[in-house]
Amino acid sequence: MFKNLKFFLQKLFSSKYVISGKCNKCGDCCRQITFSVADKLVTDEQEFLRMQNFEKKYKNFEINGKTEDGVLLFKCKALKDDGSCGVHWFRSVNCRLYPRFNKMFVHDGGEPLDRCGYKFSVDKKFSEYLDKKP
């Protein structure tokens, strides 16, 4: 019982990741998209063609480059030149939730794209951990 309560309190008062800032419409998240198949990032153009044949939604994207590691980057065809979304009211759930993140992503050093107006941070300062009495 005491163990459960301790766990609950630790969970309640532990630091949390927070998102701050706002979208500046740089459009980078819509032109640096990665896809994965079976937890593996897509690196092969032929594979992307197969994906397009298999699922129509992939026809909304075009190849837009590669990372240094060879991972393909895609651009959404609905992205307008001014960085806004051409299908704003009909965009997908993923687009609506962006930049949603999972804790492990941030924990492992994941950050928003360079020009993104959002920032990930922890709601507790480092000094607060140092001040904590044992």
Sites of contact with ligand SF4 (CB under 6 A): 23-30, 76, 78-79, 85, 87, 91, 95, 98-99, 113, 115-118
Helix (H/G/I), strand (E/B), else coil: 88: helix
Nearest to 128 by CA among 44, 30, 13: 13
Nearest to 98 by CA among 15, 19, 16, 17: 19
Minimum CB distance to ligand SF4, residue 102 (Å): 17
Q: In terms of CB distance, is 71 or 95 closer to ligand SF4?
A: 95
Minimum CB distance to ligand SF4, residue 124 (Å): 24
Q: In terms of CB distance, is 3 or 96 closer to ligand SF4?
A: 96
Minimum CB distance to ligand SF4, residue 51 (Å): 16
What Cα–Cα distance (Å) separates residue 105 from each residue in 25, 61, 70, 93, 99? 23, 24, 20, 19, 12
Minimum CB distance to ligand SF4, residue 114 (Å): 9
Amino acid identity of residue 14, one-letter, is S
Q: In terms of CB distance, is 27 or 42 closer to ligand SF4?
A: 27
Nearest to 41 by CA among 77, 74, 82: 74
